[in-house]
Structure 1
Amino acid sequence: MSNRELSRGPRTLLTGLFLLGVYVAYARFTSPWLNIERTRQSMSAPSAPVVRTADFAPVLTRWFPQDHWVSDAGKKFRDGGRYLVFNEVALFNNKHSVRVKPVAMLWSSGEDDEQPIRVTAASAQLDRSTPFDLEETEFGRITTGFLSGDVRIEGPDGLQIKGRNFHISDKSMKIWSGSPVDLVWQTHTARAEGGVEIKLLTSGNEDQGLMAISDIQSVHMNGRVTCNVLIPDRNRKREATHLTINAARGFHFDVQTLTSTFFGYEDEKPRPDRQILIERPLTNGFVDKLLCTQLTLQLRPRISSDAGNSHVALNAESDGPQRPKQVELHSIRAEGSRVVVYMEEQQLTGTMTDIRYIVDQRMLECWSNKQDANGNPFPIRLIQKGTEVLVPHIVARALEDNSLDSIDLRGPGLIRHQPDKSDSATAKSDRDPQGTIEAQWRESLIFRQSPEPRITLTGNAQVIQPVKEFRLAGQTIEMLLASRNPVPDPNIPPPSIDSAADTTHNAFDFSDLQPKELIARDRVRIAAPQLSGDVRNQLTVKLSDAASSENARTPTAAGTMQTASFEASNPGQLIGNRPESDKARGFMHFVSDTMQATLLSPESTQAKRPSAPTDWTDIWINGNVEVDYTAPDPDQSFHAEGNVLTAENGLSAGRGMSLFGSPATVVSANRLIEGQRIDVDESDEKVSVDGSGRIRLVLDRGFDGMPLERPSPLDIYWADGMIFSGRTASFVGDIRCVLSDGQSHDIHLTCAGMQVDFTRDVRLSRSGRTGKDVAKNEFDVAPAGDGDSKAAPDISEVRCVGRVHVTLKQMEAGVVTATHEADFSDLTVNRESGDFVASGPGWIESTQPDRGNRLKVSPGVIARANQAVQTSENPFVYAKASFIGSLSGNLNKELVQLSQHVEGVFGPVRRLGDTIDIDIVNSSDLPPQAGVLRCEKLWVISLPQANSEQRTFSLAAEDNARIESRNLDGHADKITYDHSKQQLILRGEGDHKATVSHRASDNSNVRTFIGQKLEYNPQQNTLKANHITGLRTE
């Protein structure tokens, strides 16, 4: 083909090939979170003839320096700002297709300062609906195009796109390549392992084919997509932000909605190789990470300001609908079944399902969409330096300089200390064991930076400092924090695009709260060494270091605290071992309208003894005051009522307290005082025993209040100290109680602290016993008086502090016949009323003979501990129940109630010491007549047997009750089990029904019954149903 034949035809080639090359260049939209200038190029036919000359060779040499063949190419054509260069051209496919190779194209906008778009490829092909005529000027309908081999596209702002084999089709109206594509734009890079797909929009004239293309609809990068983004600070005051985004399942950009989305796989567990991993390295070497399933970046037209009027920058040169020339980021959202945030420098790990950051509002929002079986959302979980935060919703806001403005933790939540959750050994060693905080609230926790750092907890708020025994509860609690320098930034800094400051060095730290003042309002409770109380309106406590102020009038740097949930302690409860210097300290419980005081933490004392108690000073108790004060000397103890009580110098011995009223009254053991003002002074030392010891009582009634066969000694051992006054004895440190007669019973109880109240005054006397097994401080207890009374001292109430463990062995002639064991916290037993209560989590366990021979088990199986037993011998009845809420009941009524997440098992075992462990035994492997019961409330009732002195038991379960056994599985509103009748009853309440799946034998089919009441006999494996509403067989 001669050069003359090409003189007019290149117009078609120029237009068709530039359609393919220039729209491939639009892949720079794959960096949509950047400031993008988009100018739509007009595709109208050229008005000037194509120029074929070597005069523009310097232009080609300048813009194609690495492609030397371009300047020496045999065919060079120019049409205004468009250039086409190739060596060979061929028509084929009955002249419906044209191919040129190699090919280079250049498209200049005409602006000297802007780089033109350049395209090079090994070859290019265009297909037309009608035969090509290189002499004609009409384009015809171009249907497909193809850039083959290595394709390189370059353009303004350092744009580079490298790939292979790009296709274009008028049927699909898209450009695509299945080979890896690399993108460079400005300081940013991206790579799509699975190629790229660009969907096009047309003007609506289908007859024009590809000549009708008017815009791009979307860009999709397939396969794994890796992006490296470098974002400079707009004000050029801070280091640029570097982000690495690695998406396992591609990237999509919708040009019309300006929405960019990265995709990963929806796996249950976080996996960086299958999801989206965003990494942000900091200048100090630490790295922040975010792992999610989907990352969405929402763009919008950039708002510019011209002469004070805001407007959207548009492309005025476009011949179509005007769209913004520049865009900017509006919001970022990360979501997935588990979104994980890790901030290495703060040692902070967060788990949630959604994170959203809105740029203009500088607001970061986190929440969780996952729900449990009851429809309650799973909370967000933050772990920082051994402190865990659980809350369903978090909103953080920053100021214009990206410093922290506020953090809102919305909904019920808690903060608790978990040393094993610390992210590094360094964090563990640096944490002050004195400063652990845990907190709990129902409605919200709000942190505000201005006008002074302040945290507000709302809705049944609770705060505790465990080491210092300080506890506080109220409807609202405010913590005024000690000022820090510099001012802290958010604990979860938003990934600000406009101001990516590296401010992590002053981040807010949940694990290191330093309150200087606490303010609690509305139904306040406080418990601490020396003091406890109930305040109706407001309580204010200033936290001060005595070393900085002799009389503590001005609070200084507060000691580090930690916050925690708690239940109100008994005001008279002994909290811990009192040091030698604290023998003269008193304890006060009060009720009032308001209270304010200062709590000292002597620096020198804390350095010598970390467990040393704090001191109270500047105490003011106001409004309808009632005070019960326990002095070191019982004769100095008193009950007082008045309007105001003050104790400016605290509660230690020798420091005065004043009571004001109209009149005020003070009642002590030996006097009644009334007056407008009453001054109370203490002079005598506290009566106490320091160190270990033992006390012995001879009881004629057991702990259950029932008469014993013979009087039995009760020995109470302690490790740290004892206080005894009148009718009350308090014991501290590793308490062990033993009640045994060696013939009928053997009871052991252990706990951390104990208080025992007697029914009448008693006196202590040295035991006089000698020998190596006799404790240094050993006492006997006898009734107080002239010694004529022979009645044994009786216990009215026992309060156990901390973890309580009880073991009871029932014996006949010294041989153990039954064992009972329990473990829980904070036990209180009133032997007069029989009422008792304890806190969970805990468990109770019992193994006793089956006196009625109701249990039948299979022969030939060896029984072992922790294994379900099957034997032909008469078995024992084994039962165990665990709970996490509370345990309560009545000894006289032989009733026990367990609450919250109760799980129980009952059934036969061959001998004492054997158990049924439901953690290792499936319900289908349970022995006959054994069962597993789960519910929220469980009653265990001891019942007398007819015509017998023996007793049996029954169980009653409510709230989400479920029973599992070898041949039966059911759930109902209420489930009861009577062991004496071998009867299990499932009931539905109201419109609810009970459901039971039953097998008549091990190999029979399962039948499911639905009815109002279902009765089951475990011994006979028979089921009786009333009011059946459903039945199916499987």
Structure 2
Amino acid sequence: MSERFYRTLVTIALLLALKGAYALLISPLATPPEERPLAASTGARAGQGSLESGDGDSHIPQHRRDLLDIAREHLPHAEWAARARYAVRTSGSFVFADDWEKEENSNRVVFSPFALVWRAPESSPDDPPLTIVCDAAALEFAEKFDIKNPNPGRVVGGSLQGPVSIRGPNGLAVETRNLSFSEASQRAWSDSDIEFAYGPHRGRAQGLELDLIGKTGPRDHDKPAIEGIRTIRLVSNAWFKLQPGAADNRRGKNSPQDPQPDAPDKNTPAPRREESRDAPVIITCSGSFEYKLEVHVALFNKNVVVVQPTGPDARDRLTTDLLTLEFERELSIGKPADGAVDSASPPEPATARSEAPLGDLKFRWLRASGPGTQISSDRSQLRARMDELTYDEPGRAVVLRGVNPVRMVQKNTGLKCQEITALLDEDNQIEQAHCRGAGTLMRYAQPIPESDEVALPGVDFSARWEGELRLEPEPQTGFNTIDLQKRVVLTRPGGLRLSAERVKIWVEPDDSSSAEAKTRVKRL
């Protein structure tokens, strides 16, 4: 299994733009305006003061013209917004609606239809703003709502109703229905299907849940009592299509003619891609996908399958019950090399405003676990079955473990052992290997068939041991050494048999891709 196969999983972090989408959504809706809104209507009641825009309408105030120009530029997929009866500007955000209505005996207000344009304070001027369009937005305030009040108070709950369309920088696109938010339960959710995109990456799932971080200390009258997001959860049937090596396209805008993310279609040929770009990685799971922002850990649950094509008829594949990925922040210039921090200052929780860009994350560690975990590589003619696989990126170490012996087959060689550790060199080749515990190594005259129902070919060489096996390079000779320990038995066709407590073999490195290539023993 090539290291590139594992590295491509790093791009999962990009798809966590769902975090950014909802964080941006909460901020403009829950943060009170810093200046008196400029309403399009002159009345305080819904239905009063309707103003239609149009060229030559000199009676339309200039501030309304400016607001509707914002809608024309950034909301081409919501044409009604350019003629909205109510256009409100707050600090950094623009809200458009045709009607608003207060619900009886509650602090809820419904705006319909609803559109929002918001630019984050820290965003680049060249970045497109975040936009949200839906049939209606029902917002619940901590106190009685008054549209004339420039500080209506804290939003403590609400929902975006009907189809919800979110757009943002770097091709961010989210399509779902009926998003809800509750300050009291510190969560946000949607029970509907969700499709999303970020740059060239695509995904979909059934249901969305976000566990929010509540604000500590006394609650402010005006500011939201939510500091950020703790966990993003796609409830079930998550599907990701990730493009390794894709360049950031933060200045690009979404095409209004293609608002929905791509869905997989087996009958549609894949578009041509640049020679330097790797094939996309497809990740699916029938259970949930979770990303824990505070510790940078992603989890795929139940029937997890990871596939990456490596040629016209070849692919790398991983199947498991639970896939865990851990990321870490790149060290910033000026920080201590060891990443030490002042123990007296606890780390700041991940929030919409404190969280660094997702591009600062780098892959650290992977674990695939569960009975029947399997990896395969058509190009390398490799198959392996185990209960747990871990990959440590800094140490470049792959470890396979099992309650039952790990089984690995490559070309015409079969290996069984309780635990196998492999260290990769800079060319992603196995430099060292360590088989712990009793095991067997079989080399056959022909490739090993994939089906257990097909008879095995004749044995060319076999080894059995009860201690350990080590494969290591010997720089002074240029050979590889195979060191077998404790009750070692070697056999060859013709009745040749060798038994010893320890056997060390010097072999010439085999660079041949032929399945029938023989191991060239130089010394024993």
Alignment partner for residue 463 of structure 1, among 490, 498, 503?
A: 490
> 2:80 is paired with a residue of what secondary structure?
helix
Q: Are the aligned partners of 2:424 and 2:430 in contact in 1 as well (CA < 8 Å)?
A: yes
> 1:94 is paired with a residue of what secondary structure?
coil
> 1:32 is paired with a residue of what secondary structure?
helix
The residue aligned with 1:446 is: 470
Kindly provide the amino acid, as one letter, of the partner of residue 228 in structure 2.
Answer: D
Q: Are the aligned partners of 2:33 and 2:150 in contact in 1 as well (CA < 8 Å)?
A: no
1:281-292 correspondence to structure 2 within 5 Å: 281-292=309-320
Q: Are the aligned partners of 1:177 and 1:197 in contact in 2 as well (CA < 8 Å)?
A: yes
The residue aligned with 1:79 is: 90
The residue aligned with 2:271 is: none
Alignment partner for residue 200 of structure 1, among 212, 223, 245?
A: 212
How far apart are the structure 2 equivalents of 1:364 and 1:66?
Answer: 48
TM-score (norm 1): 0.40
The residue aligned with 1:54 is: 65
How far apart are the structure 1 equivalents of 2:38 and 2:173?
Answer: 28
Cα distance change, pair 312–153 in 1 and its aligned pair in 2 (3 A): farther
1:250 matched to 2:261: no
How far apart are the structure 2 equivalents of 1:54 and 1:310?
Answer: 55
The residue aligned with 2:61 is: none
Deviation at 1:94, TM superposition (A): 3.3
Alignment partner for residue 440 of structure 2, among 403, 410, 414?
A: 414
The residue aligned with 1:138 is: 151
Cα distance change, pair 400–30 in 1 and its aligned pair in 2 (3 A): closer
Deviation at 1:165, TM superposition (A): 0.6
Q: Deviations over 1:751-793 (max 9, x none)?
A: xxxxxxxxxxxxxxxxxxxxxxxxxxxxxxxxxxxxxxxxxxx
Cα distance change, pair 31–206 in 1 and its aligned pair in 2 (3 A): farther
Q: Deviations over 1:98-133 (max 9, x none)?
A: 111111111113522222111111111012343211
The residue aligned with 2:324 is: 296
1:514 matched to 2:514: no
Unaligned runs of 5+ in 2: 1-9, 40-63, 248-273, 342-346
1:194-233 correspondence to structure 2 within 5 Å: 195-204=207-216, 205=218, 211-232=224-245
Cα distance change, pair 210–197 in 1 and its aligned pair in 2 (3 A): farther
How far apart are the structure 1 equivalents of 2:352 and 2:193?
Answer: 33
Alignment partner for residue 68 of structure 1, among 63, 75, 79?
A: 79
Q: Are the aligned partners of 2:160 and 2:178 in contact in 1 as well (CA < 8 Å)?
A: yes
Cα distance change, pair 385–111 in 1 and its aligned pair in 2 (3 A): closer
Cα distance change, pair 331–243 in 1 and its aligned pair in 2 (3 A): same
1:112 matched to 2:139: no
Q: Deviations over 1:852-884 (max 9, x none)?
A: xxxxxxxxxxxxxxxxxxxxxxxxxxxxxxxxx
> 2:280 is paired with a residue of what secondary structure?
strand
1:360 matched to 2:394: yes
Q: Are the aligned partners of 1:304 and 1:312 in contact in 2 as well (CA < 8 Å)?
A: no
Deviation at 1:307, TM superposition (A): 11
> 2:224 is paired with a residue of what secondary structure?
helix
Q: Deviations over 1:73-110 (max 9, x none)?
A: 22222223211111111122236221111111111135
> 1:295 is paired with a residue of what secondary structure?
strand
Q: Deviations over 1:61-80 (max 9, x none)?
A: 23222222222222222223
Deviation at 1:393, TM superposition (A): 0.6
How far apart are the structure 1 equivalents of 2:320 and 2:340?
Answer: 33
How far apart are the structure 1 equivalents of 2:353 and 2:191?
Answer: 32
1:201-350 correspondence to structure 2 within 5 Å: 201-204=213-216, 205=218, 211-232=224-245, 239-264=277-302, 275-305=303-333, 322-325=354-357, 326-350=360-384
> 1:139 is paired with a residue of what secondary structure?
coil
1:172 matched to 2:185: yes
Q: What is the root-mean-square deviation of aligned Cα atoms in Å?
A: 3.6
Deviation at 1:424, TM superposition (A): 5.7
How far apart are the structure 1 equivalents of 2:240 and 2:400?
Answer: 25
Q: Are the aligned partners of 1:233 and 1:240 in contact in 2 as well (CA < 8 Å)?
A: no
How far apart are the structure 1 equivalents of 2:287 and 2:16?
Answer: 25
Kindly provide the amino acid, as one letter, of the partner of residue 117 in structure 2.
Answer: L
1:410-809 correspondence to structure 2 within 5 Å: 410-416=436-442, 422-423=448-449, 436-449=460-473, 451=475, 452=478, 453-466=480-493, 468-485=494-511, 512=517, 514-519=519-524
Q: Are the aligned partners of 1:143 and 1:209 in contact in 2 as well (CA < 8 Å)?
A: no
The residue aligned with 2:13 is: 32
Deviation at 1:396, TM superposition (A): 1.0
Unaligned runs of 5+ in 1: 1-28, 265-274, 371-377, 487-504, 520-1034
Q: Deviations over 1:610-637 (max 9, x none)?
A: xxxxxxxxxxxxxxxxxxxxxxxxxxxx
The residue aligned with 2:264 is: none
Cα distance change, pair 30–67 in 1 and its aligned pair in 2 (3 A): farther
TM-score (norm 2): 0.75
Cα distance change, pair 473–354 in 1 and its aligned pair in 2 (3 A): same
Deviation at 1:238, TM superposition (A): 5.5
Q: Are the aligned partners of 1:33 and 1:328 in contact in 2 as well (CA < 8 Å)?
A: no
> 2:192 is paired with a residue of what secondary structure?
coil
How far apart are the structure 2 equivalents of 1:148 and 1:180?
Answer: 14
Deviation at 1:410, TM superposition (A): 1.6
Alignment partner for residue 101 of structure 2, among 80, 90, 105?
A: 90
Cα distance change, pair 231–30 in 1 and its aligned pair in 2 (3 A): closer
Q: Are the aligned partners of 1:465 and 1:471 in contact in 2 as well (CA < 8 Å)?
A: yes
Kindly provide the amino acid, as one letter, of the partner of residue 49 in structure 1.
Answer: R
Deviation at 1:422, TM superposition (A): 2.5
Cα distance change, pair 348–319 in 1 and its aligned pair in 2 (3 A): closer
Q: Are the aligned partners of 2:284 and 2:304 in contact in 1 as well (CA < 8 Å)?
A: yes
How far apart are the structure 1 equivalents of 2:210 and 2:146?
Answer: 30
Kindly provide the amino acid, as one letter, of the partner of residue 54 in structure 1.
Answer: R
Cα distance change, pair 116–450 in 1 and its aligned pair in 2 (3 A): farther
Cα distance change, pair 348–402 in 1 and its aligned pair in 2 (3 A): closer
Q: Are the aligned partners of 1:33 and 1:329 in contact in 2 as well (CA < 8 Å)?
A: no
How far apart are the structure 1 equivalents of 2:164 and 2:508?
Answer: 62
Cα distance change, pair 83–185 in 1 and its aligned pair in 2 (3 A): same
How far apart are the structure 1 equivalents of 2:340 and 2:129?
Answer: 26
Deviation at 1:210, TM superposition (A): 8.4
Cα distance change, pair 135–30 in 1 and its aligned pair in 2 (3 A): farther
Cα distance change, pair 35–402 in 1 and its aligned pair in 2 (3 A): farther
Question: How many equivalent pairs are there?
Answer: 443
Cα distance change, pair 30–44 in 1 and its aligned pair in 2 (3 A): farther
Q: Are the aligned partners of 1:414 and 1:441 in contact in 2 as well (CA < 8 Å)?
A: yes
Q: Deviations over 1:486-517 (max 9, x none)?
A: 7xxxxxxxxxxxxxxxxxx69xx8x8551232
Deviation at 1:170, TM superposition (A): 2.1
How far apart are the structure 2 equivalents of 1:512 and 1:208?
Answer: 76
Q: Are the aligned partners of 1:479 and 1:515 in contact in 2 as well (CA < 8 Å)?
A: no
The residue aligned with 1:691 is: none
Q: Deviations over 1:313-345 (max 9, x none)?
A: 9x99x9999554432221110000221222223
Cα distance change, pair 34–134 in 1 and its aligned pair in 2 (3 A): closer
Cα distance change, pair 285–319 in 1 and its aligned pair in 2 (3 A): closer
The residue aligned with 1:398 is: 424
